Amino acid sequence: MDFSGKHAVVTGGTGALGTAVVSTLLQAGASCTVPYVHDGEVERFPYRGQPQVTIVKVTDLADEGDVTKVFATAEAPLSLWASIHIAGGFAAGGISDIDKNAFMAQINGNLTSCFLCCRAAVKSMLSAGGGRIVNVAARPALEWRSGAGMTAYTAAKAGVGALTVALAEEVAKDGILVNAVAPSIMDTAANRKAMPKANYAAWPKIEEVAATILFLASRDNRVTRGAIVPVYGRS
């Protein structure tokens, strides 16, 4: 896949999956805009300071002003080709343990941020004549019963899935293909630490999930739209 001369926004680009996506994009010739919230994220980010990477400090991707700032940066000097939305957050908890504030934190962190970034990406891509959007949902977005004990997260990620399919239908005529991936638990250092007795070999590797995202974001993807692609590995 050749991304030479292409620009991409990668939200959540300083995290484990995001770093793998940015790495693959750079290897394929792309330039990237990567927003971040916490200074510690960017200090650990291996591509900080590279000329092909623009890092943008934000407070909240559920804020319209912050999203506008990110995408204004992404439009110069190259037009936006791909927008990949990984940013989000996870919180477990039974429904009796979650109040409205906790619920809205999941909605804003996962769904509102994705909606605002999709909207900004579409506006940029309409003027550029097309592009690709890839959202990151989660297994419970497809398998709702697996979301027991994390209902707020499941509702938010199911919303990402519905947003993806509806938007794909809306903008296909404009040359913008919108898809999502739905990972199961991925093989990251944080997940291994949280679940030390799990079968890590069954979990999808972040590089494998990144490869699926890159295909959906590439010109090689000419026909796939409105898909929520399971990336479960053997788990």
Reported confidence tier of residue 74, pLDDT bands at 50, 70, 90: confident
Domain count, the chain: 1
Say what percent of the chain tops pLDDT 70. Answer: 99
Report the percentage of the chain scoring pLDDT > 90: 95
Distance CA 142, CA 161 (A): 8
Whether 160 is in a domain gets the answer yes
What is the Cβ-side half-sphere exposure of residue 147, based on CA atoms within 13 angstroms?
A: 20
Contact 111, 166 (CB under 8 A): no
Average pLDDT value over all residues in the chain: 96
Query: Residue 73's pLDDT is what?
Result: 85
Peptide bond into 77 cis (omega under 30): yes
At 221 the pLDDT is 98
Give the tens place of pLDDT for each residue, 123-139: 999 999 999 999 999 99
Flag whether 201 is in a domain. no
Q: How far apart are CA 164 and CA 154, in angstroms?
A: 15
- pLDDT higher than 80, residue 76: no
Structure tokens, 136: 């990151």
Tens-place pLDDT, residues 165-176: 999 999 999 999
Amino acid at 143: E
Provide the CATH number for the domain around residue 33.
3.40.50.720
Residue 77 is predicted with a pLDDT of: 63
Which positions are annotated as active-site residues? 153
Residue 177's domain spans which residues?
Answer: 7-184+206-226
